[in-house]
Amino acid sequence: MKKAIAITAAGLMSFGTVCATPAAAYHLIPESTNFTGTGKTSATKNGITLPCTANFKGNTNATGVGSITSGTFSGQIGCSSVGLGGLPWKALAKSATKVIIYNVSFTSPIGNCGPGNLPTKLTNGVIKFTNVALAGGCTVSGSIKTTPTISIVP
């Protein structure tokens, strides 16, 4: 009987070890590539919304970590004076559809926003975020299409 208990205990311990193994890390693909992102964005502060068209540049490294390295804005009056701060912004895949962009900050005619982390959804190469709060009393929204298509894999 003691032998059966010992075997059962060993089996449960090895099951616990298997269950404690972390899930595979998600990463962005294609790896080691430059990409662009273009789309509609908006920032709101003190009840004033500035809608713009964004043009971002970035890259992914060999391990699938992304970086936003530059960006310009056009459209409404004031969009061309938006300036990005603290570049590059690191982008990490957190699940099959979620990417967090870290330390996002910018200056604009409606005021300074950030820094803050920007949780986004990435599907079919489109990065989307809606009414995400940033430091400075700002909320941001956007839909950015990446070229080439950036995806997430485990």
pLDDT, tens digit (0-9, with 9 covering 90-100), for 86-132: 999 999 999 999 999 999 999 999 999 999 999 999 999 999 999 99
| Of the options 2.40.128, 3.30.450, 1.10.10, 1.10.287, the CATH number for the domain spanning 27-153 | 2.40.128
| Of 12-16, 24-28, 83-87, highest mean pLDDT | 83-87
Every domain of the chain and the residues it spans: 27-153
Question: How would DSSP label each residue in 65-115?
Answer: -EEEEEEEEEESTTGGG-EEESPSEEEEE-SSSEEEEEEEEEE-TT--EEE
